[in-house]
Structure 1
């Protein structure tokens, strides 16, 4: 990585792997897919998190400093992803050791709240222009809150889950209006930020998964409402597909992984809660497509690293 600059959107790699692990976990609930598969992917996500975290932390300590990283109007929102991953890994650890998993989750939750609160205050203080906003601004509070609700519910912290669901939902309503106003009224995002448009799909999917976790997988009016908005965002992603074809592959391309995989996980929870004809075949089809997509991203990442085209150089970051 010599001569390259690491930005926090690089944590999209372990984040995407965590999304795939969540798919396999949901499939285990839906059709008794092997739980060991999700364990392997969770382990890969944890390893990838460490592989990115160590050099990224070293770069911050030797260069820009954490405050400047948080204040970056483009990459600042992505600084919440490492802490969000800690929450997810805590939830994954809980089946083997609930106490250890809960402790890891609490550490990730506190870090997520601190980063989300700091960034929200930063956005109030800074003279941000509307054109500088992008869907990555959902991550610290919307994503952080809804992921926290999901994991808290699975750990049995029902009250905390409700608090964090409200936290994420209100932030989604507030930030969503700003971000959509930016996308509707301002020039198109810069080319390398266009993959963040995939994050528009994440809030309804992540909220839906959290709601299922909080209510035992029961289909109700809230789940139906979230599914309706999620359907709109799926159609939007199809319409944006021609735009994505012209984006050069890089760390930002992993933005597709977690967002799309959370939508797949939402679908798997729906299948688990209904009597869908051919449900087993459908679950395995969704798993195959999801796994193939992540493997493709991993292969393209490996090729880019070998060719030294994946990471930005110090002069282009």
Structure 2
């Protein structure tokens, strides 16, 4: 509470980096569409600039605030709910670096290397902390896939695009094995324990991201090779997307909050992977189908941005701090 005004304090929490994460996901979708010849690259560049502005604004505010909070960085990193979202800081940095590679390969490679190192070190520290400090199964949520799974698979894509095939395969192993281990624990919690609290239910959308990211990472390290592995990852991505359709009824009853940005990147990753299969299968009206996918994910992110703007205007968006 604020001692002077007796009102709750609001501030920047790690999950807010999901906004920049979602914008970079949308930028990546438009960028991949441009590579496939379905859309102009300019939109992707504009979205990258917007995502970078949001990321930098949040980063400055967050770093400034953490030093004044009880427990400092130690408390932030070990928070059982918000801690895993801190990994979004270097992960978004990697995604922005990938976008930069299209215009300045050297600078993009250098920045990507820095953010990839931070991502892997942070993932290792968090995994060690979960072992040393233990985890409360009831507090486990899909956001726990971010540090190692999303971090490792996005690092795979970036390293492949940077021209580092060996390193890309190392990152692929990190992300893939972590996905198999961590998602199994998360699913066990979701299957056999009570439902997630309403404020964490949007994180269920995060479960759609790993198979799509794994597919995109595999395509990156094999230079677009379509084989049994690629088809298998497509199959699991399809299952993950169908699960999200079943959860719409749950999502409809939730009140809009910053947590809704958890929908943006996973669905953008699925859309991007979907564009690959449209290009590969080349069904009748392939370009039309591609634009349906692109405009659908763009409309989702635009709706999130509009709701966020309205909530900020009403002072109902930023989380309340204890």
Q: TM-score, normalised by structure 1?
A: 0.97
1:297 aligns with one of 286, 304, 310? 304
Match of 1:163 in 2: 170
Match of 1:42 in 2: 48
Match of 2:213 in 1: 206
2:149 aligns with one of 142, 146, 155? 142
1:22 aligns with one of 25, 28, 33? 28
Contact kept, 8 Å, 1:150 with 1:210, in 2: the verdict is yes
1:175 aligns with one of 167, 171, 182? 182
Superimposed CA distance per residue, residues 18-76 of structure 1 (whole angstroms, 9 cap, x where no aligned partner): 01001101111223411111111111111110111111111112224111100000000
Flag structure 2 segments of 5+ consecutive residues without an equivalent. 1-7
Flag structure 1 segments of 5+ consecutive residues without an equivalent. none
Superimposed CA distance per residue, residues 261-310 of structure 1 (whole angstroms, 9 cap, x where no aligned partner): 10000011122233222111111111111111111000000000011111
Match of 2:295 in 1: 288
Q: Indicate yes or no: 2:137 matched with 1:130.
A: yes
Q: What is the RMSD of the two structures over their aligned residues, measured on CA atoms?
A: 1.2
Secondary structure of the 1:31 match is coil
Contact kept, 8 Å, 1:11 with 1:52, in 2: the verdict is yes
Contact kept, 8 Å, 1:204 with 1:226, in 2: the verdict is yes
Secondary structure of the 1:273 match is helix
Contact kept, 8 Å, 2:140 with 2:186, in 1: the verdict is yes
Deviates more, 1:17-26 or 1:126-135: 126-135
Superimposed CA distance per residue, residues 186-214 of structure 1 (whole angstroms, 9 cap, x where no aligned partner): 10001000001001111001111111111
Deviates more, 1:135-144 or 1:244-253: 244-253
Aligned residues: 314
Match of 1:256 in 2: 263
1:180-199 pair list within 5 angstroms: 180-199=187-206
Match of 2:15 in 1: 9
Contact kept, 8 Å, 1:153 with 1:213, in 2: the verdict is yes
Contact kept, 8 Å, 2:38 with 2:287, in 1: the verdict is no
CA distance in structure 1 between the partners assigned to 2:291 and 2:136 by the alignment:
45
Contact kept, 8 Å, 1:30 with 1:271, in 2: the verdict is no
Q: TM-score, normalised by structure 2?
A: 0.95
**Which aligned segments of 4 or more residues in structure 1 are displaced greater than 3 angstroms?**
none
CA distance in structure 1 between the partners assigned to 2:240 and 2:102 by the alignment:
33
CA distance in structure 2 between the partners assigned to 1:41 and 1:244 by the alignment:
26
Q: Indicate yes or no: 2:222 matched with 1:215.
A: yes
